Amino acid sequence: QVQLVESGGGSVRSGDSLKLSCVVSGLTFNYYSMGWFRQTPDKEREFVAVISRGGGTTYADSVKGRFTISRNNDRKTVYLQMSSLKPEDTALYYCAADRTILSHWSISQEDYEHWGRGTQVTVSS
């Protein structure tokens, strides 16, 4: 059974930092690129960041320079370090896994086969 379990969310103030983690089980982690997405009640789920199997990364323009995605293949964990948080970063953050070739990654949620349940991040001004 595939499981993706996010943690690390919370309520912080504008300018603070948080680090999200997503622990994966039930699949061969090395075969998957890993993405972070987020959603608010009044918006569609949107792409945040992705890291390929080989470690290449891509970010949404809204988080570039503030967020860093990383992975630890031994621990089957993907991380999202979030700094200089803004109120507009408030959302439910999901991690997702995409079975793909080594150097490929996708920003399209339709390409991701497995999803976690999310962790809430709330940023107050």
The per-residue pLDDT for range 25-36, each reduced to its tens digit, is: 999 999 999 999
Range from 39-43, 47-51, 58-62, 98-102 carrying the lowest mean pLDDT? 98-102
Q: What are phi and psi of 83, to 5 degrees?
A: -125, 165
Neighbours of 90 (CB within 10 A): 16
Of 20, 11, 22, the closest CA to residue 87 belongs to 11
- pLDDT at residue 104 greater than cutoff 90: no
Q: In what order do the strands lie in the sheet with 18-25?
A: 3-7, 18-25, 77-82, 67-72
Contact 7, 119 (CB under 8 A): yes
